[in-house]
A and B are shown apart, each in its own frame.
Chain A
Amino acid sequence: MSWQIRKNDIPILALGAKLLSCGGGGDTKTAESLLMSIMREDDVIAVKSITDLGDEWVAAAGIMGSIVLFNEDIPSGREGIRALRLYESVISKNVGALISIEMGGVNSLIPLVIAIQANLPVIDGDGMGRAFPELFMTAFHLSEIPLSPMVLQTHDTNRVIYDAENAHYTAEMAKVFTVKNRGHAHLVGYGAKGQKMKTSMIPGTLNLIFRLGNVLKSETSAGVKMDHMIHVFENSIYGKPQQIISGVVTEVRRWFEKGSLVGKFIVEGRSAFSDQRIEIEFKNEFISIKNGQYICTAPDLILVLNEENLIPYNVSEVQSGLFITIVAVPAPNILRTKDMLELVGPNSYGLACSYKPFQGDSGYETWN
């Protein structure tokens, strides 16, 4: 079922994108401001859902690099469409629709910017179903949609990566380019026909962040919001969310390790959870919940929310003394397949444990 995005929807999508990012994915502020600047009240972006996909050429768009630098060295706002035009000239085809690489954080919004400027539809789906740190950690890659040819575009320079052997190598070359060119770049790649994209993507995620954003924006109590949030996830390809703990953050430790923001913190339970103590580890995203033993790990979703209004926190915003609620959400099955777990499972984040799917009924099992 197709639908449309309007200017008023942008702040809602930005909030939903932050929720699904699991603490990573990059702050949406700059991209949100850009969309609010370029969209007129009567502008609409057409959204194609899985059943609408056909022969058109679909390409994925996003940004990569340092979000701190992206938010400082603000984009002109034309990088995305320039990347698209260059990409089209490289493949000698017109792109018929855009899809998000990563439905979590800033990359949920970048395709919308280009869609407005190029008058293209966007697709209700993405490659990750949340945020992950590397370009190759996608369902596209798993379905053998090649990342290259890929176009990188900064303020003043660009680069095309042709026919690279594999997505890992393309991603590595893209990183080298980014580091050399002011730390961030727009990209267009992972091109495929609609029919192929249809079976490769994680479907329905744009609509999901819209529904989640609406829940978070609603003027109601945290309890009611939580019920609505659970309801939204239950009516999606994700599993039933479960509240793990509510309490106060203590002992935050955070450091940089090879370009990733790494660390952990403790949540001391309050009221109904008053005798519990939970440790959360993060590496770009929140990656594990432990109470001595593991309760939940990536790729299942770990959400860290403001206890009062359920507004999500990202990994750099968590501070000692905050009152938070932790929610675990079973990831879509496509992220839990053996091949995908090699890309995005606990080991890919350096956790020395095996993956066990978070069940999300009442109660949960723990493991080492």
Chain B
Amino acid sequence: MKLGIDVGGTNTDAVVITNDGKLLSWSKHLTTKDIITGIKLAANEALQEANIPPEKIEGVFLGTTHVLNALYYPNNLAKTALIRMTKIPSLIGPAIQWPSNLKKYIGKVYDFKSLCDYKGNKDDSLNPNSGQINKLLSDIEKYSIESICIVGAYSPLYETEEREIRKIIKEHYPEIPVTMSHEIGSTGFIERENAALLNAILSKVIRQAMTDLSKIFKNLSLNCPYWLTQNDGSLMEIHEASEYPILTIGSGVSNSIRGASILSGLKSCIVVDAGGSTIDIGKIINGQPEVSVGSSSIFDIQVNVRVPQIHSLPYGGGSLITIENELAEIKETIANDIEQQGMAWGGHTWTLTDSFLKLFPDSFQDETLQQKGLDLLSKEDCRKVIQMVTKNIKESISRLQPSVEDLPVILVGGGSPLLANRLFGRYKKVLHPAGYHICNAVGACFAPLSAEIDKVFWLNGITKQEVIDRAKEQLFQQLLQKGAKKESIELVSLEEFPFDYLEGEVLRVRVKALGELA
């Protein structure tokens, strides 16, 4: 049996699901500031309601926006030292486009000299970095450095230099998190450095969360493996997640997309997740949530890691509405708890949800609703708000629709009852599946295992096919090790990127395989 948990901005949900996919129980709690208390309450309740002993749970599957939120509202981020390894130090500064509230976490920058030629052959007679390394080692304590990020030019072609530096640091400081850029992204120094730096400054918040989680699960006598979903919707073990937090920032969204596919039974569909603070629109094709291609951006910082491909509208059910110059406007601010503050519940703030409830009071089956509070609102204003919201959602949906045939649209999330039956006329296929309110937690339970190689290879006396075959074999072994069913393993993508202007044949290969958890 599986325990699925989703920590959202507003609610923390837990579900217990049998191995053949039957929902045994679910629970919902307000997300707590420490996230941990909410998880504990929700998990405990779901287990009790299912009435099964904890030892029957074979895996815990978690999705969370916690890591992304740590960047949104900078919190518990690590003071990071950056080591750059280049032929000659560059005048290009690190983190050029970063917002200052994140940039300030880059505490120290060191320029090391790369000793390899571009084919990765190293001149061992030189050791010009030893003085620099000693300085770094002494600075770690002096400046309270909490995390280290190593970025070497050409490291996607050869990783030995990044590894050597890491080894030396770990000999002196075995506990300090060290991010190596070749493990985070591929070619493109600036984007890879950005991604690696974000990963490094997130190492504190993720470690804290993972340690706390382990404690809670022990308390609950859950002695099974714990998994976190990553940006592409597949699973990572908790110790992996601690090393690569940047790969988990999209876990909430990818769970919602997969959950909608599971709840509706459709392998390919468009998903509208109406939450409290955002409305996210994404797509899943043949059971795989779509991820961005090429470079993407996180808070306008360009990175070369893949993130879920979604259109995110900057408002949700809890967004506040004001009238300005006789026009209804949706503000960026969010009510903390609409059931306290919303007018439909007797509160004093006008939310997006109130606007829908004014016109469609039956959307929510909630006895605490008071139609009286809504009397203060004008029907006309509310209609304008609804028109704008549905227009924006429809536009986002049409952008994701493939050219040949329209995909069905699945509505999920706490705010989805407001949209059901009024997004489109009857002629379009729109589903509002049961379980829409616990969609993310369900989605987490069905995520596959994945392994990916994105590396640059020199074709020294071997053929391209041999390089690809070796990469594939490596992936299969990795998946078996993680516990995948052998017969379920399949190659899902293979891309080649040749290089020009280099002596000798070079090939960048990106291969990805998926497998089901046995």
Contacts and interface: CB of A to CB of B under 8 A. Distances in A.
Given A29-B191, A30-B189, A319-B293, A156 B87 contact: yes
A72 B501 contact: no
A72 B187 contact: yes
Contacts of B89: 76
A323 to B, nearest CB: 6
A74 B92 contact: yes
A39 to B, nearest CB: 11
Contacts of B402: 248, 321
B82 to A, nearest CB: 14
B294 A319 contact: yes
A256 B190 contact: no
Interface in B148-170: 153-154, 156
B118 A256 contact: no
Interface stretch (A143-151, A174-182, A193-201, A357-365): A174-182
B276 to A, nearest CB: 26
B314 interface: no
Given A29-B302, A72-B187, A256-B500, A36 B96 contact: yes
Contacts of B131: none
A319 B501 CA distance: 24
Interface residues of B, number: 31
Nearest to A38: B91
A77 B501 contact: no
Interface stretch (A63-71, A83-91, A329-337): A63-71
Contacts of B92: 30, 33-34, 37, 74-75, 77
Contacts of A231: none
B501 A74 contact: no
Given A29-B191, A74-B153, A316-B294, A66 B88 contact: no
A219 interface: no
Given A66-B500, A259-B500, A34 B187 contact: no
Interface in A66-111: 66, 68-69, 71-78
Contact of B91 (A66, A77, A308): A77
B426 interface: no
A317 B91 contact: no
Nearest to B498: A256
A60 B474 CA distance: 49
Contact of B502 (A69, A77, A321, A323): A69
B502 A73 contact: no
A253 to B, nearest CB: 13
A73 B501 contact: no
Contacts of B91: 34, 37-38, 76-78
A76 B503 CA distance: 22
Contact of A74 (B86, B293, B499, B502): B86
A71 B96 CA distance: 15
Contact of B501 (A184, A321, A323): A184
Contacts of B87: 73, 76, 155-156
Interface string A147-178: 00000000110000000000000000000001
Nearest to B395: A308
A317 B93 contact: no
Interface in B176-215: 187-191
Contact of A69 (B90, B191, B399, B501): B501
A268 interface: yes
A132 B63 CA distance: 48
Interface in A220-269: 248, 250, 256, 259-260, 268
Given A29-B191, A74-B189, A77-B91, A68 B499 contact: yes
A71 B90 CA distance: 12
Contacts of B93: 33, 36-37
Contacts of B498: 256
B403 interface: yes
Contacts of B294: 316-317, 319
A72 to B, nearest CB: 5
B503 A180 contact: yes
B187 A74 contact: no
Interface in A15-39: 29-30, 33-34, 36-38
A268 B501 contact: no
A182 B500 CA distance: 11
Nearest to A36: B96
Contacts of A73: 86-87, 118, 153-154, 189
A46 B274 CA distance: 52
Contacts of A256: 498, 500
Contacts of B190: 29-30, 33, 71, 74
Nearest to B311: A308
A133 to B, nearest CB: 11
B187 A68 contact: yes
A37 B93 CA distance: 6
Nearest to A269: B403
A204 interface: no
Nearest to A27: B188
B501 A183 contact: yes
11 contacts: A37-B92, A68-B187, A71-B190, A73-B153, A74-B153, A76-B86, A76-B89, A76-B90, A178-B501, A250-B403, A259-B501
Given A33-B92, A33-B93, A179-B502, 20 more contacts: A29-B188, A34-B92, A66-B499, A68-B187, A68-B499, A69-B499, A72-B188, A73-B118, A73-B154, A74-B86, A77-B92, A78-B91, A155-B88, A182-B118, A183-B501, A184-B501, A248-B402, A256-B498, A256-B500, A308-B399
Interface of A: 29-30, 33-34, 36-38, 65-66, 68-69, 71-78, 155-156, 178-180, 182-184, 248, 250, 256, 259-260, 268, 308, 316-317, 319, 321, 323
- The 4 lowest CB-CB distance pairs between A and B, nearest first, are A77-B91, A66-B501, A183-B501, A259-B500
